Amino acid sequence: MSNYLEVLTPQNSQIIFIDQQPQMAFGVQSIDRQTLKNNVVGLAKAAKAFNIPATLTTVETAGFSGHTYPELLAVFPEHKILERSSMNSWDDQNVRDSLAANGRKKIVVAGLWTEVCNTTFALSAMLEGGYEIYMVADASGGTSLDAHNYAMDRMVQAGAVPMTWQQVLLEWQRDWARKDTYDAVMNIVREHSGAYGMGVDYAYTMVHKAPERVQHGERIGPNPAAN
């Protein structure tokens, strides 16, 4: 029996990255593509920080889609990449085996495209595998905003849970007293969370007087020019 009332924890969840490849990203129109990649990499770093079992899948790498983002691969340099021919990751036995080996029924999903690869995987994994799907909307993208939104609606109607990448990160952290992951979370936030990250940098350096994250040359001036 699915239990979506349980929050995500580092112990009860796993993650799958579906087809985060350039040719797939070229077709995305539902989100700015640089923002998309930022969110995907931020989510990947979150999974790494919390030791979340991760599965990476690709489709038609040589024939169509190209290689997975280097920034994503850099987070998981030792991971095997599960290549497929089907648009539905669930159709590949290697993917099913990877998910089953992780032994966790809550699957966080970030993939391209929302209306094809994400939707078919989510529906199949819920129906045939008994998995709970947590679909990361802003680390996924569709060929139009309508395509993305209606696909999200369809998955939600079927029982999937819509989330954002930062929501996943902070749900895994849950308590700022958990110092073993605190610094890693703050680093991810500062690198990938936009204004939130800028605020953390400001608070660290201006309020708590911590050193700047990046060292730079001598600050010179001001030196008002003579009239």
Residues annotated catalytic, as ranges? 117
Angstrom distance (rounded) from CA 218 to CA 227: 26
Ramachandran region of residue 194, left (φ > 0), alpha (ψ -120 to 50) or beta?
left
- Is 201 within 8 Å of 190 (Cβ atoms)? yes
Task: List, in order, residues 6 or more apart from 55 with CB less than 8 Å away.
Answer: 14, 15, 16, 17, 82, 95, 98, 99, 102
Angstrom distance (rounded) from CA 106 to CA 10: 11
* Amino acid residing at 142: G
Angstrom distance (rounded) from CA 136 to CA 13: 13
